[in-house]
């Protein structure tokens, strides 16, 4: 089978061998969970419980606050202990509901729809919204919004993203191997909702077992096909995956649905299946715990709100020479100050611990125009020049070089011999450019 890909990209050390053979293990329900109200892109959810309330597993505890927002559910059976500011792996600190476990694990009863084909698409989207499903790949965009394209946009393809191009992470791989059937059912549901002709599952070449399992099950489904994509970072970035599989290019500033495609992570597909067919809100997820500074590694199914500390401990604990702990993958993840009381969110796909050797900090030197970053940029930008403009506060010039197209994948910073923190400059620049353009728009409207 042909291995598909896009232009550019890098080959960082994969690190998957550390945990790819560890099958998914359901972790014991924690004594206490910290459930932040911001676990998705968009407005934080509004809490609908009060301190002292008793809640069941799967009970809604906070409500979506605007169109782009998501419901939050309790992940355990217990009692609301506090509502306030708590640590958050991405935002530093954010409002959260703390629930203390009581006896048992009593689930709230939800309607199960096994025959989803006979149900209206709108109804299915409503259920998905109700169950608080968001993108599980890390971006955490509310799934219901993504599945409601404007009526004038025809969707041809649904792509399930099983690339998992971030090094070290293996949770999607494990899901594809162990929850194969559920994931494919999820894809069918998505295809029904957006009325797509064809479904693809894009998987990187380095996951032969996952590919085999899914291929076996798809054999008799004529409108679903497995597409093998090259093991290359960032193969799992939405736009790059679409390019590889369909050869369509999402325009600058556009969305996949502008080219008739909807992309969902395999984990999201599983969550959709569980929400519709099993009536289960999004209260658990698969997390890889790995890295050279771990005594042992694991792939867990954990309740949302469990803590990093607990996961690390259950996986085998940290080595003494740990230097860095990351939420997410090593390329785009966020380094953590501490792991105590830091909760696992809907979008946390991995907890990685690294030693000094892997992450050594280097001094920034002047750019020598080696153009490594230009050669590998998957968005075909000129990072080195954009960074020079940003350093000199020439944001309009940076805008001309399409800085806003940057997906912050970090490939440029990975290859840079001068160790320039390019992603950081990109973030600053994008922010400034956005401000300038908003201001310009405002002035024009006047």
Between 113 and 152, how does the x/- string for binding to other proteins read (CB under 8 A)?
----------------------------------------
In degrees, to the nearest 5, what angle opens at C-alpha 247 toward C-alphas 243 and 248?
75
Q: Which of 385, 432, 436, 437 binds other proteins (CB under 8 A)?
A: 385
Residue 171 assigned as binding residue: no
Q: Site residues for other proteins, window 149-168 (CB under 8 A)? A: 167
Peptide bond into 336 cis (omega under 30): no
Asked if 336 is part of the footprint of other proteins (rule: CB under 8 A), the reply reads: yes
Report the alpha-carbon distance of residue 158 to residue 319 in Å, rounded: 42
Asked if 339 is part of the footprint of other proteins (rule: CB under 8 A), the reply reads: yes
Q: Site residues for other proteins, window 233-272 (CB under 8 A)? A: 239, 243, 249-252, 254
Asked if 342 is part of the footprint of other proteins (rule: CB under 8 A), the reply reads: no
- Please list, residue by residue across 10-39, b when 16 or more beta carbons sit within 10 angstroms of its beta carbon and e when fewer do: bebebbbebbbebebeebebbebbbbbbbb
Pairing type for strands 334-335 and 322-327 reads antiparallel
Asked if 210 is part of the footprint of other proteins (rule: CB under 8 A), the reply reads: no
Residue 39 or 336 having the CB closest to other proteins: 336
Asked if 86 is part of the footprint of other proteins (rule: CB under 8 A), the reply reads: no
Residue pair 411/8 in contact by the 8 Å Cβ criterion:
yes
Residue 41 or 401 having the CB closest to other proteins: 401
Residue 412 assigned as binding residue: yes
Q: What ranges in 219-257 are assigned the alpha helix state H? A: 238-246
Residue 416 assigned as binding residue: yes
Residue pair 38/44 in contact by the 8 Å Cβ criterion:
yes
Least CB distance to other proteins at residue 368 (A) = 5
In degrees, to the nearest 5, what angle opens at C-alpha 253 toward C-alphas 10 and 189?
80
Number of shown-chain residues binding other proteins (CB under 8 A): 75
Least CB distance to other proteins at residue 289 (A) = 14
Residue 201 or 373 having the CB closest to other proteins: 373
Between 364 and 383, how does the x/- string for binding to other proteins read (CB under 8 A)?
-xxxxxxxx-xx--xxxxx-
What DSSP string runs through 248-285? --PPTT--GGGGTEEEEEHHHHHHHHHHHHS---S-EE
Residue 218 assigned as binding residue: no
Residue 144 or 306 having the CB closest to other proteins: 306
Report the alpha-carbon distance of residue 378 to residue 412 in Å, rounded: 9
Asked if 338 is part of the footprint of other proteins (rule: CB under 8 A), the reply reads: yes
Residue pair 240/234 in contact by the 8 Å Cβ criterion:
yes
Report CA 176 to chain centroid distance, whole Å: 16
Q: Which of 384, 395, 429, 433 binds other proteins (CB under 8 A)?
A: 384
In degrees, to the nearest 5, what angle opens at C-alpha 342 toward C-alphas 341 and 347?
150
Asked if 91 is part of the footprint of other proteins (rule: CB under 8 A), the reply reads: no
In degrees, to the nearest 5, what angle opens at C-alpha 374 toward C-alphas 368 and 376?
120
* Neighbouring-strand partners of residue 82: 98
Residue 409 assigned as binding residue: yes
Least CB distance to other proteins at residue 94 (A) = 17
Q: Which of 108, 418, 432, 436 binds other proteins (CB under 8 A)?
A: 418
- Segment interacting with other proteins (CB under 8 A) among 6-14, 27-35, 103-111, 113-121: 6-14
Give binding residues for [4Fe-4S] cluster as ranges.
Answer: 367, 370, 373, 377, 406, 409, 412, 416
């Amino acid at each position: 089978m042909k291995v598909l890909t896009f232009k550019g990209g890098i080959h960082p050390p994969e690190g998957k061998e550390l945990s790819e053979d560890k099958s998914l293990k359901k972790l014991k329900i924690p004594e206490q969970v910290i459930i932040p109200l911001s676990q998705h892109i968009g407005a934080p959810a509004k809490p609908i419980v009060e301190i002292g309330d008793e809640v069941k597993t799967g009970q809604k505890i906070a409500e979506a606050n605007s169109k782009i927002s998501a419901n939050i559910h309790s992940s355990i059976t217990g009692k609301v202990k506090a509502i306030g500011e708590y640590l958050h792996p991405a935002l530093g600190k954010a409002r959260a509901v703390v629930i203390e476990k009581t006896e048992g694990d009593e689930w709230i009863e939800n309607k199960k729809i096994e025959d989803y084909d006979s149900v209206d698409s709108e109804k299915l989207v409503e259920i998905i919204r109700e169950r608080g499903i968001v993108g599980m790949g890390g971006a955490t965009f509310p799934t219901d919004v993504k599945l409601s394209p404007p009526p004038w946009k025809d969707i041809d393809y649904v792509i399930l993203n099983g690339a998992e191009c971030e090094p070290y992470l293996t949770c999607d791989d494990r899901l594809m191997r162990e929850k194969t059937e559920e994931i494919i059912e999820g894809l069918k549901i998505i295809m029904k909702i957006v009325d797509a002709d064809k479904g693809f599952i894009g998987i990187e070449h380095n996951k032969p077992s996952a590919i085999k399992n899914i291929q076996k099950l798809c054999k008799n489904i004529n409108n679903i096909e497995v597409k093998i994509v090259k093991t290359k970072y960032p193969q799992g970035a939405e736009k790059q995956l679409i390019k590889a599989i369909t050869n369509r290019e999402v325009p600058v500033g556009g969305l996949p649905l502008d080219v008739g495609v909807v992309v969902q992570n395999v984990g999201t597909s599983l969550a959709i299946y569980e929400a519709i067919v099993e009536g289960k809100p999004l209260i658990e997820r698969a997390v890889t715990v790995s890295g050279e500074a771990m005594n042992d590694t694991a792939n867990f199914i954990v309740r949302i709100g469990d803590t990093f500390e607990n996961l690390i401990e259950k996986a085998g604990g940290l080595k003494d020479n740990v230097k860095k702990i990351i939420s997410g993958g090593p390329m785009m993840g966020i380094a953590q100050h501490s792991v105590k009381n830091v909760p696992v969110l809907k979008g946390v796909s991995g907890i990685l611990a690294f030693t000094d050797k892997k992450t050594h900090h280097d001094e920034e030197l002047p750019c020598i125009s080696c153009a490594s970053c230009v050669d590998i940029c998957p968005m075909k930008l000129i990072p080195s020049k954009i960074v020079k403009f940003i350093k000199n506060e020439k944001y309009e010039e940076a805008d001309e070089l399409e800085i806003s197209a940057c997906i912050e994948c970090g490939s440029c910073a990975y290859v840079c011999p001068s160790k320039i923190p390019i992603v950081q400059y990109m973030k600053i620049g994008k922010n400034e450019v956005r401000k300038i353009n908003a201001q310009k728009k405002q002035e024009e409207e006047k």
